């Protein structure tokens, strides 16, 4: 057993160890020696040993065997041993250890000790690691000490009481009277402790808060004393008298003045005085000003004072010290909702802070800039934000991107600007945007119908430059698929057109399909786009067929399924291909951030299996009925799969199908509804083109039900055949289409075709209906769409 | 209130740790690791405030030591910089031109000074002179021949 080495020598030995292994060896030897010493009875070096153990503990080595020694040392009569014992207790014991309960009795005895330093040790330890039980046991003692005559003890007791209240909330009531009394002390330490205690009590209990409102005049008095008084060497920090106490009093005033007119009035003058008189050249002055500003903005202050506060924040923003600017931005963030205009005045400085080197400042500036975007400054702000996006640190990128999207959505001055902005973000930070950006952007593009040409040109250019940004590639593929014909036409007003051939376009899509960098979703987009192009291009349909059939044996199940179905479209259902792959109608957005789920291409795919199944089960009936079935599938529906596209891929379509092939007993299926479409309601002509007239009349069946009758007639010289109507309604409205009375319109209006549509509008939304008319006349197919916004008789 | 106060060197060696709330040993180790990573990675003239989880971290570098404190949301960060500075001043007055070695070899004294200045995460005594006076008195109470003999000759 090596002789006990004094603390410093052990430290020196540990520090001189050259390797971790050597250090561990030294420490193990020392710990063994210490353990042996602990087992011995009282000797002079006990405090040394414990101190050594605490050092070892700080280096990160286990020291739990010292816990009992701490307990023993605390109980020792010698002050030196008590001191180290309590230190050990604070370091090794916490409320989760069982040994901590053992010291409760020692603490209790020491709290009543004659020597104030022993008392203070006990108070300090209790405030550091006192558990709830210990606090409950010793609370009365602390209360007694709060009323002692010794300020040294009073200030410590006050903070100990704060800890007790934090641990056991109910004991707050116990300390309230003593806390009140402490406010009349002169000693700053005691005052400070009292203010902290009162703050804690008021935060926890609203009734206590009410009671302490009466102290506002006293607090104002104390504060005035601090602000006006001359130099006091004890408490002066760079010209401010006791800033710690000032800040705590301001914080307490904030809590007391919140939501209370009277209290706020009482402190108005004081706050104005502090705000104007405090010297703001040093950090300490700014700390007091900061707390003052927070208080002014939180209580019911008068407007002049608020303006003063915001001006102080404005001054902070121009300060050279980064800390002050950071603080200013945090505070401005809090009030940007309420005092928007005041903050707008400082927009320039805030935007400049976006370029600051410091990451914390950048983050705050980003938050604040996004909050300051408004309709009037959107263009200039967006320029700055996009610049920021290209150079911002990685952890801020997704936040910046989503913030830019939100701002663009709310304040976009024009659709073209909106699309440009989103494209810009996708090219710079495409990897960090959220998933719903792709459907949102697609929806935006479909809505801006006059910009289709411009958009597809831009996207094509972006695609051939870079195929790594998945979101951008997905949107580009979708657009090329949809508007490929516009791209190939090679003319565009808004931007310089690209002269592309069909081969170029197909090459680009194939590159995406084959690239390793494309995610499975992106490849799905590309495949669907390739397929869609088969109806929009003329020469290279064979190439598309070969691409599609190659992917029929792809390992990726998703791609394989798509390829197989598209193949089927080519082979068996070629006559349907045009209808299936035609342009998407405008999507109605349900809500901001509404995720339409996967790409629009999926809907085409989803229809396929349903249609193929339906068509197969109905193959026996003649072709015209098949077209009818298509009509019912696309036009009739129970439930809408996508908003505004009335699709039915499910069984409800079937009864109507069989009904229609049976050619008649629909009425039984739909049961209880008016069989004849003849209604007393007026008929309104909703469509008149090329000699085809469509009139509409409707009749209310119930509170939410409506029967609409569409009547078509042909005033041309030639007959019309294969006349079909398809209808789409808003999402919450249910639609049943009965079979039409026929599908041919003889010339000169000799006969009419009527179609009844049953609508159910349970949510009473604004009823709109889009009807698509398609027919064949003189060997050529016609198609048109009409939107009905008003229904006569409604 | 301050949740914790850590002192560590540029090489990542912990010199002092004071916890004002209850953390398990594992949590303490994680906090220490995170703080070191967070603070040591900061550029020289950057802002002294960092947001970490739900706490505001205030740190200041004095020579080779980083002083790092974790604050709650309602605390005044600028004042905490003053608190850290006051602690350094107290150490300086007590040890006479304090350096890192003083804190290493007399770590228990550093803790005692801290306990006279802060308690329960709040400032206990706002007067520098008062803290130093109480330290002196307590030391006198403790001083025995033995202690006097083993004081290092720095």
A583-603 per-position pLDDT tens digit: 777 776 654 443 433 334 444
**Are B90 and B133 in contact, with CB atoms under 8 Å apart?**
no
- Asked if residue B54 lies in contact with residue B47, where contact means CB atoms within 8 angstroms, the answer is no
Give pLDDT, residue A43. Answer: 67
**Interface contact B81, partner A, CB < 8 A:** yes
Rounded to a whole number of angstroms, the distance from the CA of B119 to the nearest CA of chain A is 7
Cα end-to-end distance, chain A, whole Å:
103
Q: CA–CA separation, A355 vs B84, rounded Å?
A: 29
- Strand, coil or helix: A606: helix
**B147 inside 8 A of chain A by CB:** yes
Shortest Cα distance, chain A CAs vs residue B87, angstroms: 13
Residues 306-335 of A with CB under 8 A from B: 322-324, 326-327
Chain A partners of B45 at a C-beta cutoff of 8 Å?
322
CA–CA separation, B77 vs A159, rounded Å? 20
H helical segments located in A490-573: 502-514, 520-536, 541-550, 557-571
pLDDT digits (tens, 9 = 90+) for A237-253: 888 899 999 999 999 99
Question: Using alpha carbons only, what angle is made at residue A780 by residues A779 and A783, rounded to the nearest 5 degrees?
Answer: 140
User: Comparing A673 with A297, which gets the higher pLDDT?
Assistant: A297
User: Taking phi first (over 0 means left), then psi (-120 to 50 degrees means alpha), and beta for anything else, what does residue A744 get?
Assistant: beta
Average pLDDT over residues A534-560: 84
- The helix/strand/coil state of B42 is coil
The pLDDT value given to residue A692: 83
* Position A45 pLDDT exceeds 80: no
Give the whole-angstrom CA distance, residue A397 versus residue B137.
Answer: 56
How far apart CA A156 and CA A125 sit, in angstroms, is: 11
Contacts of B122 in chain A (CB under 8 A): 159, 162, 193, 196
pLDDT of residue A617: 37
Is A538 a residue whose pLDDT tops 80? no
Residues A632 and A738: their CA atoms lie apart, in Å, by 8
Q: Yes or no: say if A427 and A469 are a contact pair by the CB < 8 Å rule.
A: yes
- Residue A316 makes CB contacts below 8 A (sequence gap 6+) with A286, A290, A324, A325, A327, A328, A331
Are B79 and A94 within 8 A, CB to CB? no
User: What whole-number distance in Å separates Cα of residue A300 and Cα of residue A311?
Assistant: 18
β-strand pairing of B14-19 with B49-52: unpaired
- Quickly tell me which residue has 């205030």 as its tokens: B58
Find tokens 């550093």 and name the residue: B110
Distance between CA atoms of residues A351 and A370, nearest Å: 10
Task: Say what the alpha-carbon torsion angle A383, A384, A386, A388 is, to the nearest 10 degrees.
Answer: 160
pLDDT at A706: 82
The answer to whether the beta carbons of residues B38 and B52 sit under 8 Å apart is yes
Q: How many CA atoms within 13 Å lie on the side-chain side of A603?
A: 23
pLDDT of residue A29 exceeding 70, the answer is: yes
What share of chain A has pLDDT > 90, as a percent? 23
Q: Grade residue A158 by pLDDT with cuts at 50, 70 and 90.
A: very high
Question: Contacts of residue B86 in chain A, CB cutoff 8 Å?
Answer: 237
Chain B within 8 Å of A738 (Cβ-Cβ)? no
Residues B104, A247: C-beta atoms closer than 8 Å: no
Least confident of A401-415, A512-526, A693-707: A693-707
Quick one: pLDDT band at residue A632, thresholds 50, 70, 90?
very low
DSSP state of A20: H
| Burial (CB count within 10 angstroms: exposed 0-12, middle 13-18, buried 19+), residue A137 | middle
How far apart are alpha carbons A594 and A601 in whole angstroms? Answer: 17
Query: What distance in Å separates the CA atoms of residue A221 and residue A210, rounded to the nearest whole number?
Result: 19
Cα(A440)–Cα(A433) distance, integer angstroms: 12
CB < 8 Å to A51, chain B = 108
pLDDT of amino acid B44: 86
The reply to whether B38 touches chain A by the CB within 8 Å rule is no
Q: How many CB atoms are located within 10 Å of the residue B23 CB?
A: 16
Any idea what DSSP says for residue A743? S
For the ranges A34-43, A616-625, A747-756, B38-47, the maximum mean pLDDT occurs at B38-47
Q: Which of A166, A189, A323 sits opposite B49 (nearest CB)?
A: A323
Q: What is the pTM of this model?
A: 0.70
pLDDT of residue A553 exceeding 50: yes
Tell me how far apart the alpha carbons of residues B47 and B59 are, in angstroms, rounded to a whole number: 9
Phi, psi of A688 (to 5 degrees): -150, 105
Comparing CA positions, the residue from A173, A11, A96 lying closest to residue B26 is: A96
The Cα A785–Cα A430 span in angstroms is 37
Going by the DSSP 8-state scheme, the letter that residue A745 receives in this structure is B
- Overall average pLDDT of the A751-780 stretch: 83
What is the pLDDT averaged over residues A675-703? 72
* Closest chain B residue to the Cα of A86, Cα to Cα: B112
The rounded radius of gyration (Å) of the Cα atoms in chain A is 40
Which residues 6+ apart lie within 8 Å of A207 measured at CB? none
Q: Which two tokens stand for residue A74?
A: 């605390």
Distance, in Å, from the CA atom of A792 to the CA atom of A283, rounded to the nearest integer, reads 73
**Whose structure tokens read 């007391």?**
A256
Could you tell me if A708 and A698 are in contact, meaning their C-beta atoms sit under 8 angstroms apart? yes
H helix runs in B1-154, sequence order: 25-40, 77-95, 100-105, 107-117, 128-142, 145-149
Within the 83-142 window of chain A, which residues sit less than 8 Å (CB to CB) from chain B?
A: 83-84, 87, 94-96, 115, 117, 120, 123-124, 127-129
Please tell me the distance from the alpha carbon of residue A455 to that of residue A472, in angstroms, as a whole number.
12
Q: What is the pLDDT of residues A229-238, one digit of tens each?
A: 877 888 888 8
Distance from B55 to chain A by nearest Cα, in Å? 14
Q: Which residues of A touch B47 (CB under 8 A)?
A: 322-323, 326, 358, 360-361
Position of tokens 């403790």? Answer: B142
Extract the tokens encoding A668: 């039984």
DSSP helix/strand/coil, A404: helix
- A467-507 pLDDT tens trace: 788 888 888 888 888 888 887 777 777 677 677 788 888 88
As a whole number of angstroms, the distance between CA B135 and CA A83 comes to 12
d(CA A85, CA A82): 5
**Comparing C-alpha atoms, which of A614, A528, A584, A604 is closest to residue A728?**
A584
The pLDDT of residue A778 is above 90: no
Q: Give the per-residue pLDDT at A682.
A: 67
Tokens representing B65 are 């030591």
Closest of A466, A566, A563, A568 to residue A517, by C-alpha: A466
Distance CA A69, CA B11 (A): 32
Q: What residues of A are in contact with residue B43 (Cβ under 8 Å)?
A: 357-358
Confidence band, pLDDT 50/70/90 cuts, at residue B84:
very high
Residue A779, pLDDT above cutoff 60: yes
CB A661 within 8 A of CB A621: yes
CA distance to partner chain A, nearest, from residue B23 (Å): 8
> Residue A681 — pLDDT band, cuts 50, 70, 90?
low
For chain A, what is the mean pLDDT? 80
Residue A254: predicted pLDDT = 94
User: How far out from the chain centre does Cα B14 lie?
Assistant: 11
Q: Whole-angstrom Cα distance, residue A424 to residue A382? A: 11
Region of poorest pLDDT, from A85-89, A90-94, A442-446, B7-11 = A442-446
Please report the sign of the dihedral spanned by the C-alpha atoms of residue A446, residue A451, residue A453, residue A456. Answer: negative
Q: Which residues are paired to A693 by β-bridges?
A: A688, A713
CA gap A587, A592 in Å, rounded:
13
Could you say which of A124, A242, A323 has the minimum Cβ distance to residue B126?
A242
Angstrom distances, CA of residue A421 to CA of A276, A387, A400: 45, 12, 13
**What is the sign of the dihedral through the CA atoms of A669, A674, A675 and A681?**
negative
ipTM over 0.85: yes
Asked if the model's pLDDT at residue A435 lies above 80, the reply is no
Q: Is residue B83's pLDDT more than 90?
A: yes
Instruction: Report the alpha-carbon distance of residue B131 to residue A141 in Å, rounded.
Output: 24
CA distance A94 to chain B (A): 7
- Please state, in angstroms and rounded to a whole number, the distance separating the CA atoms of residues A654 and A632: 9
**Which residue has tokens 């042909």?**
A714
Segment A98-127 mean pLDDT:
90
**Mean pLDDT calculated for residue range A349-362:** 86
Distances (CA, A) of A577 to A267, A316, A372, A534: 78, 66, 50, 9
Q: Is B100 on the interface with A (CB under 8 A)?
A: no
Backbone angles phi, psi at A512, to 5 degrees: -65, -45
Write the DSSP assignment of A609-672 as a string of letters.
HHHHHHHHHT-SS-HHHHHHHHHHHHH-BSS-SBTTB----STTHHHHHHHHHHTSTHHHHH-S
């Amino acid at each position: 057993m090596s002789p006990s080495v004094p603390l410093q020598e052990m430290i020196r030995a540990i520090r001189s160890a050259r390797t971790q292994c050597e250090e561990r060896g030294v420490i193990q030897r020392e710990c063994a020696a210490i353990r042996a010493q602990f087992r011995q009875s009282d000797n002079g070096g006990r405090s040394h040993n414990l101190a050594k153990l605490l050092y070892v503990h700080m280096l990160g080595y286990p020291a739990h065997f010292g816990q009992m020694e701490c307990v023993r040392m605390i109980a020792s009569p010698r002050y030196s041993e008590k001191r180290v014992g309590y230190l050990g207790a604070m370091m090794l014991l916490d409320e989760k250890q069982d040994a901590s309960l053992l010291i409760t009795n020692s603490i209790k005895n020491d709290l009543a000790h004659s020597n104030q330093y022993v008392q203070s040790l006990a108070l300090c330890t209790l405030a550091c690691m006192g558990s709830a039980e210990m606090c409950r046991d010793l609370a009365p003692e602390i209360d007694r000490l709060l009323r002692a005559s010794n300020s040294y003890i009073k200030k410590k007791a006050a903070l100990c009481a704060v800890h007790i209240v934090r641990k056991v909330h109910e004991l707050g009531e116990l300390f309230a009277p003593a806390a009140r009394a402490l406010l009349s002390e002169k000693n700053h330490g005691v005052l400070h402790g009292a203010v902290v205690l009162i703050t804690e009590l008021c935060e926890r209990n609203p009734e206590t808060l009410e009671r302490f409102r009466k102290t506002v005049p006293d607090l104002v008095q104390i504060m005035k004393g601090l602000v006006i008084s001359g130099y006091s060497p004890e408490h002066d920090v760079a010209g401010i008298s006791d800033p710690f106490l000032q800040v705590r009093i301001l914080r307490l005033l904030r809590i007391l003045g919140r939501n209370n007119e009277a209290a706020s009035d009482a402190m108005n003058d004081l706050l104005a005085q502090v705000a104007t008189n405090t010297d703001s050249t040093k950090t300490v002055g700014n700390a007091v000003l900061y707390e003052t500003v927070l208080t002014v903005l939180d209580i019911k202050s008068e407007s002049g004072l608020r303006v003063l506060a915001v001006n102080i924040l404005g001054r902070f923003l121009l300060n050279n010290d980064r800390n002050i600017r950071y603080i200013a931005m945090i505070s401005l963030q809090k009030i940007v909702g309420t005092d928007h205009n005041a903050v707008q005045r400082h927009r320039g400085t805030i935007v400049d802070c976006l370029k600051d080197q410091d990451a914390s400042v950048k983050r705050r500036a980003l938050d604040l800039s996004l909050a300051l975007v408004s309709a009037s400054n959107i263009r200039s702000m967006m320029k700055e934000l996009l610049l920021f996006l290209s150079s911002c640190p990685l952890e801020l990128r997704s936040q910046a991107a989503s913030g830019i999207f939100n701002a663009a959505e709310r304040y976009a001055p024009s659709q073209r600007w909106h699309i440009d902005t989103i494209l810009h973000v996708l090219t710079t930070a495409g990897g960090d945007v959220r998933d719903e950006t792709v459907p949102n952007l697609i929806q935006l593009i479909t809505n801006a119908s006059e910009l289709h040409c411009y958009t597809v040109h831009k996207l094509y250019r972006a695609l051939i430059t870079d195929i790594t940004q998945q979101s951008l590639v997905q949107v580009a593929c979708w657009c090329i698929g949809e508007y490929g014909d516009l791209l190939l036409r090679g003319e565009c007003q808004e931007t310089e057109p690209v002269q592309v051939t069909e081969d170029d376009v197909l090459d680009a899509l194939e590159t995406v399909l084959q690239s390793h960098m494309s995610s499975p979703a992106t490849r799905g987009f590309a495949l669907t786009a390739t397929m869609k192009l088969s109806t929009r291009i003329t020469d290279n349909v064979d190439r598309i067929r070969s691409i599609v059939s190659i992917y029929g044996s792809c390992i990726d199940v998703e791609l394989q399924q798509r390829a197989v179905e598209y193949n089927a479209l080519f082979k068996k259902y070629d006559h349907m291909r045009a209808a299936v792959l035609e342009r998407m109608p405008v999507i109605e957005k349900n809500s901001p951030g509404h995720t339409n789920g996967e790409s629009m291409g999926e809907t085409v795919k989803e229809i396929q299996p349903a249609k193929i199944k339906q068509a197969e089960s109905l193959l026996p009936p003649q072709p015209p009925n098949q077209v009818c079935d298509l009509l019912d599938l696309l036009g009739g529906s129970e439930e809408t799969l996508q908003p505004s596209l009335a699709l039915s891929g499910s069984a409800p379509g079937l009864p109507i199908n069989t009904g229609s092939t049976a050619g008649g007993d629909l009425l039984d299926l739909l049961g209880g509804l008016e069989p004849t479409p003849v209604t007393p309601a007026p008929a309104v002509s909703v469509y008149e083109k090329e000699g085809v007239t469509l009139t509409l009349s409707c009749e209310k069946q119930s509170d939410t039900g409506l029967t609409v009758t569409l009547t078509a007639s042909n005033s041309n010289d030639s007959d019309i055949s294969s006349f079909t109507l398809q209808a789409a309604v808003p999402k919450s409205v249910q639609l049943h289409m009965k079979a039409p009375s026929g599908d041919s319109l003889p010339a000169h209006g000799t006969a009419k075709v009527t179609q009844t549509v049953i609508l159910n509008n349970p949510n009473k939304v604004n009823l709109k209906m889009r009807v698509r008319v398609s027919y064949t006349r003189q060997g050529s197919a016609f198609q048109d769409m009409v939107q009905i916004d008003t229904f006569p008789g409604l | 209130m301050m949740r914790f106060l850590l002192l560590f060197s540029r090489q990542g060696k912990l010199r002092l740790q004071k916890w004002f709330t209850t953390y398990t040993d594992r949590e303490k180790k994680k906090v220490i690791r995170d703080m070191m990573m967070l603070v040591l990675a900061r550029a020289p003239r950057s802002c002294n405030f960092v947001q970490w989880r739900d706490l505001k971290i205030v740190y200041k570098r004095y020579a080779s030591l980083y002083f790092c404190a974790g604050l709650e949301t309602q605390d005044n960060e600028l004042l905490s910089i003053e608190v850290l500075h006051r602690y350094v001043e107290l150490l300086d007055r007590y040890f006479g031109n304090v350096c890192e070695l003083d804190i290493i070899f007399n770590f228990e004294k550093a803790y005692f000074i801290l306990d006279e200045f802060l308690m329960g995460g709040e400032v206990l005594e706002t007067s520098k002179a008062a803290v130093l006076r109480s330290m002196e008195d307590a030391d006198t109470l403790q001083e025995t021949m033995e202690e006097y003999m083993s004081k290092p000759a720095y």
